[in-house]
């Protein structure tokens, strides 16, 4: 999966580092699944940045038009095509020297081609980035994470449970690490455990995953 978000940031009070800023941005995303093209998306959003004491506030909203392709592995994927709209606040602040907190609450609405793939969701996540300095080396960042998401679908899935509209709640915990390599380039990795329960048994799951890749900050 590859996702790019980019846009300029404008200050309402140039020269004031604590002043209100606004950032319009574009989003482009794509993914392959089982070595076949799976999904592409294009859209955009708007985020504000403000400070209140030592807390940074970053509310945002975005809309992405997603397009899915069928494959032998996922023959009904096109039903997921549609518009995904997300809105919510983000906040962050310091806890102690080298330790900070970040949190996000989001509401999302997916209007897909298939009613049983459309949903409303609420999510909340917290991160605790912790800078650890090694002798003579740039600091690593260790990031414990925790979160929860609930999904309420619009209609029963006729292929799974034709008389029950699915409701899913997922709890997750994880541990991330960012290792600086060169200038703005770093290597990031995340170990995450997810546990979801649903009124439709086929949608309940437990999952342990490891993901890693390069990070470029600018």
Supply the pLDDT for residue 196.
98
Supply the pLDDT for residue 134.
75
Neighbours of 64 (CB within 10 A): 20
Supply the pLDDT for residue 200.
96
Q: What's the predicted TM-score (pTM) here?
A: 0.85
Low-confidence residues in the chain, pLDDT < 70: 17
Report yes or no: 38 and 44 within 8 Å, Cβ to Cβ. Answer: no
Sign of CA dihedral 44, 40, 86, 173: negative
Cα separation of 57 and 92, whole Å? Answer: 7
Cα separation of 174 and 180, whole Å? Answer: 20
Neighbours of 148 (CB within 10 A): 13
Supply the pLDDT for residue 137.
79
φ/ψ (deg, to 5) at 116? -75, -10
């Amino acid at each position: 999966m590859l996702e790019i978000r980019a846009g300029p940031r404008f200050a309402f009070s140039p020269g004031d580092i604590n002043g209100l800023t606004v950032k319009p941005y574009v989003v482009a995303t794509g993914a392959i699944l089982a070595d076949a093209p799976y999904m592409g998306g294009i859209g955009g959003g708007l985020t504000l940045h403000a400070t209140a004491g030592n807390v940074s506030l970053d509310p945002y909203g975005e809309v992405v038009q997603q397009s899915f392709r069928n494959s032998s592995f996922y023959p009904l994927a096109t039903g997921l095509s549609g518009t995904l709209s997300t809105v919510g606040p983000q906040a962050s602040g310091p806890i102690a020297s080298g330790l900070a907190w970040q949190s996000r609450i989001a509401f999302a609405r997916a209007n897909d081609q298939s009613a049983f793939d459309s949903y409303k969701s609420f999510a909340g996540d917290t991160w605790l980035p912790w800078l650890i300095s090694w002798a003579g080396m740039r600091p690593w960042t260790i990031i414990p994470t925790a979160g929860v998401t609930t999904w309420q679908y619009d209609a029963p899935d006729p292929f799974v449970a034709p008389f029950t509209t699915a409701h899913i709640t997922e709890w997750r915990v994880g541990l991330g690490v960012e290792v600086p390599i060169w200038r703005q380039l770093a290597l990031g990795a995340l170990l995450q455990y997810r546990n979801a329960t649903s009124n439709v048994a086929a949608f309940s799951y437990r999952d342990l995953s490891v993901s890693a890749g390069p990070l470029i900050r600018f």
